[in-house]
Amino acid sequence: MADFIHIRIFSTRLNKVFRSHHFGWIPGFLVIVLAMNICSLEARQSGQEARVDALFEPLDSETTPGCAVSVMQGGEILYKNGYGMANLEYGIEITPETIFHVASVSKQFTAMAVQLLVNKGEVSWDDDIRKYLPEVPDYGHTITLRQLAHHVSGVRDQWSLLMQAGWRWESDVVTQKDVLDITSRQKALNFEPGTRHLYSNTGYTLLGVVVERVSGQSLREFTTEHIFEPLGMENTHFQDDHRRIVQNRAWAYEPHREGEYGLRNSVPVFDVVGASSLFTTVEDIAAWDRNMYSGEVGGTDGIEQLHQPYEMNSGESTTYALGIIRGEHRGLETYGHGGADAGYRSQYLRIPDHEFGVSVFCNDPRVSPNALARRVADIYLGEHTEATRSRSSRNQGSDSDGRLSPDEMQNLEGIYVAQPGDRTMKVSFENNRLKLDVGPGVPLVPLGNDLYTVGRSDMQMEIKPGDKTGSGNAELRFTNRNDPDIYTRYDAWSPDEEDLKEFTGIYHSTELGTDYKFNIENGRLRFHHRKLESRTLTPVFPDAFHLQGRILTFTRDDRGNVDGFRVSDSRVWGVEFEKTE
C-alpha cells in the first residue's frame, strides 16, 4: 500500500510538471508508468546506499578513525558519506568534505602536470631526465621522463634509500632537497631502464621537480592554477609544507597497545611532493573523475596518454600507465591507484565502460580501501560483472602426472634467492604441504608437473626439484607475474659465534652517507646505528642476514676476508658498504 501511495504522489507531481510546461494532460497510465519507474529507481538507489552504509558500519564509531566514500557516475556523485572520526582528540567526524592526505593517488596529478607541459611543447615524455635535473647521475643509460612515470627506469626508491640511511619515518622531516641529494649519491640503478617494472617513488618526485623548473612555479602552484581551479577542486592542493594549517583535514592513526582507544598518531611530516602529498576530498575527486571523460583539462588526447601502458624492451607491456594502474574486476576493465603513507590509506577506482567511479579515503592503516571500493562497485554494478569462478574448484589440484611425494616436497624446503637484488622467497613444508612463508604463510596448492597455485590467488609458480636430493639446486620461478628471474634454493645457514666474528666492525656507504656497526651480543650478530634502533640479525643463507625487511649480503676480497656488504630490499637493490674498521 505504501508503494502504491508513493506512486500516486509521483504521478500527481508528474502531471503538474507536464502541465506547467504546456504539454497538456498526459494519459494517466503513462504518468503512472513513469512514476513507477522513478519510484523503482529511488528504491534501488536507497537500497544500494543502505548496503554501502552497512559495508562501512564497522568503522562508524566515535572512538575509531574511519573513511569517506563517494560513488560516481560520469563524474556526478550518486552517493557520498563519511564514517568514523577525522580527529579523535577533538571528536570531529569524517564527512564527504573532510580533506585527506591520499598518498600515491597523487601520482596521476603529477603525470597530468607533465602532460600539460607536453601539450604546450615545453617538454617531451622522451626527454632525458638529466636535461632538467643534472643532479641525477649519469648511469651510462638514458632515463626518460616516460620511464620514470611508468616505473621502468631502474632508479632506486627514495623512501627505501632514506630509511636505509637512518631517516626515521614520521619523525624526520624530509624535503625535496633531501631526495635530490640521496639520489645524486647513487652509483647504480636497480636494472637497465626499460627492462623491468619496479615501483619507485623517486621517479614522481623527479617529475615534480621537472614541472617546477620548466614552469617556474612550485608543483603546488602549477597544479592549483592549471588543474584544480579550472575543475573547481576547491579543497585540493599539494601540501609542500607540513607546517601549513589545513582546515577540515583528517588526522591519521595507527594501532598502539598503550594508546588511547588502542591508537596513536601516525601522520607523515615530509615536504616532498609529486609522488605523494596530495590533499583532497572524495567530493573533489568527482570533478577529476568527470575530467576523465570530458578532457576539460589536458584534452582528450592528454587523457588517453595517461592511460597508455609502456612497452618494455622485451615487447611485454606494463599494466602501469602514467600514475594509473590498468586492471580488472570481475570481468570489467578498471583504472585506478591506491595510496599508503603513515596511517593514511586511499583508493580511487574507475570502471570506464560504465563511467563508474569509487573513491575511498581512510585514516586507519588497518583498512583496505581497495577491497572496500571493489565491494562498493559490486553493490552498484553486480549485475554487469562476471560470476567469480569457484575458488575451491580453481585451486583444486588436477590429476596430472608428475606429483611429488611428501619426501620429495620436503626436499624443496629452503630459501630461494634471485639476482639482482638478493630477493628471497622462503618455502617450508608443514602437514604434508608446501607453504610460501609470506606473513602467516600461504599454501602452495599442487597442480602437477611442478606447478603450484599460490594460495587462493591466480598467481602460479613452478618449483623444479633439480636432482631431488635436497642438495641446493632446486629452482623456483613465477609463470604469470612480471618477474623473469630464476630463484635458486640455498640450504639453511646457522653460523656459530666464531663464524660471526668476521662480520663485526664498522662499515660505511657513500651512497647513503652513513655508517653501520656490527658486534656480537649473546652469541648473535647485532646491528647498531646512530639514529636507528639496534637489532639482531637473522642468518638467511651463507654470508647473508635478514634485518627488518632488508637483506644484507656480505662480500669478500680475493683472500676470502669480509670487506663489505650490499643491502637490498623490495625497491632498492645492492647499495654498497665498505668495511672501514
Of 225, 222, 208, 211, nearest in space to 123 by CA: 211
Task: Please enumerate in sequence order all residues whose Cβ is within 8 A of that of 207, keeping only pairs 6 or more positions apart, or say none.
Answer: 110, 111, 113, 114, 145, 148, 149, 274
Specify whether the CB–CB gap between 214 and 122 falls below 8 A.
yes
Q: Where are the alpha helices (DSSP H) in 224-323?
A: 229-231, 282-294, 299-306
Beta bridge partners of 519: 526
Catalytically annotated residue among 11, 40, 61, 104 = 104
Task: Please enumerate in sequence order all residues whose Cβ is within 8 A of that of 195, keeping only pairs 6 or more positions apart, or say none.
Answer: 152, 154, 312, 313, 314
Q: Cell for 478?
A: 613465477
Residue 106 among the catalytic residues: no
Task: Please enumerate in sequence order all residues whose Cβ is within 8 A of that of 472, keeping only pairs 6 or more positions apart, or say none.
Answer: 414, 466, 488, 489, 490, 491
CA 378/CA 295 separation, integer angstroms: 27
Q: Which residue has the cell 660471526?
A: 500
CA 23/CA 17 separation, integer angstroms: 9
Angle at the Cα of 231 from the Cα atoms of 229 and 237, rounded to 5 degrees: 50
| Side-by-side strand order, sheet with 67-73 | 76-83, 67-73, 356-362, 344-351, 332-341, 325-329
Catalytic residues: 104
